[in-house]
Structure 1
Amino acid sequence: MMTKVKQIGFVVLAITLLLGSCSKKKNNSSWVINEVLVNNKTNMIDEYGERNGWIEIYNNTAKTQDLGGMYLTTDKNNPKMYPIPLGDVRTQIKPYQHALFWADDKPFHGNFHTNFKLDTIGENYIALYEADGKTLVDEIVVPAGIPADKTFGYPVDGIKYDEEGNLTATILERVTPGSNNKIIAENPKIIDLKQNDPWGIMITITSMLVVFIGLILLYLVFNFTGNLSKNITQKRVAKSGKLSAARSESQLSGEVLAAISAAILELKEEQHDMENTVLTIQQVKRHYSPWSSKIYTLRQLPRK
């Protein structure tokens, strides 16, 4: 009996370990070596104008992470081959963003230039280790024979395994240093619209309907606002005791107002004609008169 219990226990333990190992394989790392260019002939150049291989690392989390203090290596027996320097703000990678390291064996060119090169002919093993130099974070094996200016990596950023647990790493169609590996060339909705409405008739009708509906809504809003202000004014007039006068004014029709205006105009014209026949004499006061001018009182000299 005890033997059977032990056998069952061993079977359960083996299944648990197997499932655990499978789940670990299917889990994607927090850091992913996302894309690698081994042979750079006509591709991207660095800040010194040189072309070398490069390694793209992807932050596969929803938080900012720091690569400073971690290690990049191409040798399993030497996990501390290239220590990523601490204290550089550029090593703090934002969520779902990328960091690019040049494999040019020129670390004196900057913190993002490693002290090793990639083999353009043979296989390349690349790994990222934690700051302790022992904990493996992520690794990738780039097979030999990758064509020049072609990259090896994952078609979708950070997704290393498919639903069946198989690695998705392959030669990528596009070289995308520092950006998403999966590029949507066109919007599916635009493609569908082009297929269903090649002449643009439906989009034209839709645009016109939107405009007319907007105008109708504006009319309703202004009409409602006008009626509301009118009601408020009438209530204020009613409170002040002048509602009867306001009603009498509001009951005047357009014909009555036109007749009143014509009568007022005719009255003004008649008064103007009568004023033309009136002679108005105003007395002008002057300080002197020609009859009392001093010129006539001057003595005239006799003529010789």
Structure 2
Amino acid sequence: MKPDPHAYIRNGYNPAVDTVPVDLRLLAAEDRDLVADYYEPAIRSVGFRVPVAAGTVEALLTSLRDRRRELEARQREIDRQRAELITQARDVFDKRSTRTEKKWLHLDGKAAAGFSYEVVVPDWPEDIDDESRGRGIVLGHGPNLSIADVVHKIGAAAWVAELAALNEERRLATRVNYDRQIAQEKAQLEAGTKILCAWALTREDARAIVENRAGKWVRKLEDLWIEAHAPAGYEALNRAMHFVPNNEPTQVDLEALKAAEAVCDGIVIADVQLGLVGGVRARPENLRKAVAVMVTAPTGYCCTFWRRIGSEQ
């Protein structure tokens, strides 16, 4: 029990005593049921105690009756909420209401970066536990109402299976695209590495890298290639810098862009664009106008270089 100290003292009982002797043979059957219902959770959890106002059997039974009424009221509220949710879910089923969600392609339990697809799912009420996303609402202290429960109760299994089949087709199509891109990237890497090796063998500062092939030797060749092809007067855009597109270019900006494109004509793979550059935490008004050039190695690895425009140079 959990004695109420003030009530205990007022009724002449010691609040330090948290037990009441009960002779079960003297109790009515209904009262024994009360004690039995309380006894099981009480021995499972040390902290589970019913509050009592006095150290008597009658005070204990009064508290247990109050507890039973609270539990019954709580269960009625849970049942009411569940019935309401079932009604809402049945309305969703009758109208075939759906919503579209974005889902990432997962491979071996990990998301494949950049590869997502749209799934169509029933637009169930939010308080229904969506096990696929690990989300749910506990109604009172009762168990969650799962989607599986809802589908079974309203007879929506065929419709849910139809949507699941459609979503699986989309997942498989995304997987095909993923496999295709991975194959293309692998082919580009292999072909690009051959180009880099042939190029490196013509340079004193790179020949040893190809011959030794130690560590991240391909990345070393990529860095050398990009450095050799970067336009003069441009500096590398490092991680401490922030670059955003310039959506309102002036005539001066456009002329700078044209000049940069002319400079890049001799670069094997390059992309030129206007933008605003500054520190990662720089305020928008502190960003400087710039023209950026992305230089790409034959393997697909790239690096961005930039320079300020106009009077700010």
- TM-score of the superposition, structure 1-length normalised? 0.27
Name which one, 1 or 2, has greater alpha-carbon Rg: 1
Higher relative contact order (CA 8 A, sep 6+): 1
